[in-house]
Amino acid sequence: MYDLTIIGGGWAGFNAGLKARELGLKTCLIEKKALGGTCLNAGCIPTKTLIQSAKIYSLTKKSDTFGIETRDLRINFKKIQDRKNKIIQQLHSGMQFMLKGIDFKTQGAQIISPEEIRIGEESIKTKFILIATGSKPIELKGLEFDSQRILSSDDILNLEDIPTSLLIIGGGVIGCEFANLFSNLGSEVTIAEKMPQLLPGEDKDIAKKIEAVFKKKGIKINTNTDAHSLDLKDYKLILVCVGRIAKIDALGLEKIGVSLDKTRVITDEYLKTNIPNIYAAGDCTSKVMLAHFAAYQGSVAAENIAHPQNPLKADNTNIPNCIFTEPQIASIGLKEEEAASKGIDINIKKFDFLGSGMARILDETDGFIKIISDNKTDGILGASIIGPGATELIGILTLAVSTHLKVSEIRKTIFAHPTLSETIGEAIK
C-alpha cells in the first residue's frame, strides 16, 4: 500500500511527489500522457521557446540599428519547432531522473474508492490521494476544435508552417502571447476580445499600452467583440483561447462523492476535499492557473498529507503574473483599481523606460513601471511592469510585497548601473 498516490504529473503533482519523498512517504505518481503536464508539453516551455525564436528574428531585422548589417534573412520554421521539441525532451529527461524513489506509472487512472485506484488492469491501494490532473482549453459552441483550421492553444504549438493570417479569439494572456509571436514571424494577426480591453484583469494603463504597441506592429485589435459576429472566411487559421477548465471528467469523482463546483474540485484552505484523505492541487482547483502556483500548492498538499495534525494553509496570495509579449508584462499584488475599490489611500509611482540607459542600449524603451504603496504605512502593495525584462524585474517587487517592505526601505537600496533593475529605484524617488 502506498502512503500517497498522486494523479497527474504536471507541476503540482511532480512537486508534490518530490516533497512527499523528502518527507518519507511511499509515493506513486500516475501520469496518463507526458510528465511535466501542460507547462512543459503545451504551455510555458514550448510557447516561450517559440517566442524567443521570434524575438531573435525580430531583433535581427533591426540589427542595422546596432550597426550590424545582415543579408538574406529568412525563417526556418522546422528548425524553430525542432529546437522547441529538443528543449522539451531535455527538460522531460531531467524531470524523469528526479523521480528516483517514486513509483511512476504512465496510464490513465480512475478512483474506485478513497483507498483504491485502478490503473489499466491493475488496482493499487493507498492511504491518501492527491488529484493534480491540470486543465484543458475551453471550447466555444460553434467553434469547436478540429485541429485543422480551428485550433486550441495545444494545437497551434505543432504547426508545420507559419499561417499567412491568424484570427485569435480571446485577448487574454495566451491570446496576446500568440498574437505577438506570429506577428513577429510575419503573420497577419487579428485579435477578437469580448471585454472592453485586452488582458482583462490587468492594470488598465498596462492594457492600453500593450494595445498601442500591438497596433503599431500591425496587429488588428477588436475589443467588445463577439467572435461569432466575425466573418471567419477571412482567416487562414483560427485560434480559440478563451480560458481553461479543470481536466477531471474521467476520474470518477462524482461516483465516490467528491464535491465539485461545475467542473473544478472544491478544496478547503488546506487543499483537502470533502473526503478526508483526498486532496487536490493545481489547475484542477481552478483557483489560479499558473505553473508556479501549482508547484506551491503541490508542496503544501504533500506537507499536509505527511503532517495532518499540523496542516499549513495554502494562502500565499503573492503570486507574480508574467506575460511574454514584447514588451513583456508582469504584475504582483494589488493593482490601482483593486486598491481604490478597497478604499486604501494609495500613492502611485511611475517610471518610463525611456529614461533608462540600459533600455536605450537594448533599444527597448516601450513601457513603464508602476508601483503602488499605502500612503499611511508606506508599505508596497503591488506593482505592474510593461517593458524590457519585466518578467525578471517582478521578482524583486514580489519579494518586496511578500516581506511587506516599505518604499523608504527600497530607497536605501543601491541598484547596479547601468541595469534594468535600477528602474525600480528610479520609480520610487
Strand partners, 322: 330
Cell numbers standing for residue 369:
513601471
Torsion angle of C-alpha atoms 153, 158, 327, 390, degrees rounded to 10: 80
Residue type at position 214: F
Question: Per the residue annotation, which of 228, 307, 404, 417 is the catalytic one?
Answer: 417
Nearest CA to 8 out of 261, 256, 314, 265 is that of 265
Cell numbers standing for residue 251:
476520474
Number of neighbouring beta carbons within 10 Å of residue 101: 12
Q: What is the 3-state secondary structure (H, E, C) of 144-162?
A: CCCCCCEECCCHHHHCCCC
Nearest CA to 256 out of 410, 113, 412 is that of 113
**307: annotated active-site residue:** no
Give the chain's length.
429
Q: Are 219 and 189 in contact (CB under 8 A)?
A: yes
Q: What is the 3-state secondary structure (H, E, C) of 180-217?
A: HHHHHCCCEEEEECCCCCCCCCCCHHHHHHHHHHHHHH
Q: Are 221 and 198 in contact (CB under 8 A)?
A: yes
- For 283-344, strand residue ranges (E) read 321-323, 328-333
Cell numbers standing for residue 79:
528548425
- For 172-311, strand residue ranges (E) read 188-192, 220-222, 237-240, 244-246, 260-261, 264-265, 278-280
**CA 186 → CA 47, 155, 183, 290, 325, distances in Å?**
17, 19, 5, 29, 15
Give catalytic residues, as residue numbers.
417
